[in-house]
Amino acid sequence: MTSIERQITTSITSDSPYIGKRIDYVLTQLWPTYSRAMWAQALLDNQVKIDDKIAKKSDKITANCRIIAIEPTIEHQYVLFAPKTLPEVLFEDKDVIVIIKPAGLITHPTPQNSSPSVAGAFASRINDPDPQRPGIVHRLDKDTSGVMILARNQKSKKFLQQQFKDREVHKVYTSLVSGHIQPNHARLELPLGRSIRNPQKMIVTQSGKAASTEYKVVKEYTECDLLEIILYTGRTHQIRVQLAYLGHPVVGDEVYSQVANTSIPKPPRQFLHASSLTITLPSGDKQTFRAPLTQDLQNYLNQLV
């Protein structure tokens, strides 16, 4: 350890909830200021020990052990910027804030994008030391609008994150897709993984992670279908990738669509909207929050026949 490195330690008691958990998971729970990627790198660099042994990411925590780590270096200082107009708030209490995210707003900053974000919009009302994702428990793509829930403190954040992890959150989306999808009601089980050729894109691959989506056609237009979609998992770009794989990409999706819809009007953006979210709040109340279709998407539908 050099003079500029700082050692951080903790002891695991015999009644700790972390016993039996992997060290890479435990590190992010004990010291959430540092991202999962930073801890992964620290493990690769042999900067974490369990007792006197160098830890590997798959090592599991045992009772009465001691975790010793070199504090990761935060190479990128995230700056949280708020948009000029804050998103509409649907609900707020001491634990959560529920909003309607507008299209064009990123969920949180990244090293590649420090533009105004949802995280920046509400950082002043959230007590969370995460420098990149304060209050963020799930995300919507930049050009996707709709319901989002934010945690106002670390305890609420863990409570909500666990529900998303356990797939106990009911998420409904509205989307317009190219062509007429068949059958008109189905559940998709198409695993997703990151593209080797383009790491910014996701692909359907048998070696990927399980991804489950249910769709139902709610209205047919001349060259496209309006769908109600239930998302059972929350993989990156899940709806967009799976529907494009079936040959019915989301209308307006410039990343995954290979369909040139020259006979229908160009949409203002990708037609994807998070319509409702049903979740149990830290207070114990189970609530459903709804966001009506945004005006730009509704105006676009009004043009179609």
Element (H, E) at 81: none
Q: What is the pLDDT along the chain (305 residues), one digit of tens a residue?
A: 443 467 888 999 988 889 999 999 999 888 877 877 788 888 988 899 999 899 998 899 999 999 999 988 655 567 899 999 999 999 999 999 999 999 999 999 987 788 999 999 999 999 998 888 999 999 999 999 999 999 999 999 999 999 999 999 999 999 999 999 999 999 999 999 988 788 789 999 998 999 999 999 999 999 999 999 999 999 999 999 999 999 999 999 999 987 665 678 889 999 999 999 999 999 999 999 999 999 999 999 999 98
DSSP state of 252: T
Give dist(CA 244, CA 293) in Å, integer: 22
The number of C-alpha atoms within 13 Å of 98 and in the hemisphere containing its C-beta is 19
Region(s) of the chain under CATH 3.10.290.10 = 7-70
Count of CB atoms situated within 10 Å of the CB of 238: 22
Q: Which residue numbers are catalytic?
A: 141
Phi and psi torsions of 228, nearest 5°: -105, 130
Local structure of residue 250 (DSSP, 8 states): B
Instruction: Pick one of 3.40.190.170, 1.10.10.10, 3.10.20.740, 3.30.2350.10 as the CATH number of 170-303.
Output: 3.30.2350.10
Q: Are 64 and 13 in contact (CB under 8 A)?
A: yes
Pick the CATH number of 88-165 from 2.120.10.30, 3.30.2350.10, 3.40.50.300, 3.40.50.10310: 3.30.2350.10
pTM more than 0.85 = no
User: DSSP state, 37?
Assistant: H
C-alpha 75/C-alpha 44 separation (Å) is 17
**Residue 18, SS3?**
coil
- Nearest partner of 187 among 238, 232, 237, 251, judged by Cα: 232
Q: Which pLDDT belongs to residue 231? A: 97
pLDDT of residue 305: 85
Tell me the fold of 7-70: 3.10.290
Instruction: Report in angstroms the alpha-carbon separations of 305 from 57, 109, 179, 269.
Output: 55, 39, 13, 19
By residue count, the chain amounts to 305
Task: Residue 34: name the closest of 48, 53, 15 by CA.
Answer: 48
pLDDT at position 2, please?
41
C-beta of residue 277 within 8 angstroms of C-beta of residue 263: no
Instruction: Let me know: does 89 contact 98? Beta carbons within 8 Å.
Output: yes
From-to residues of CATH 3.30.2350.10 in the chain: 88-165, 170-303
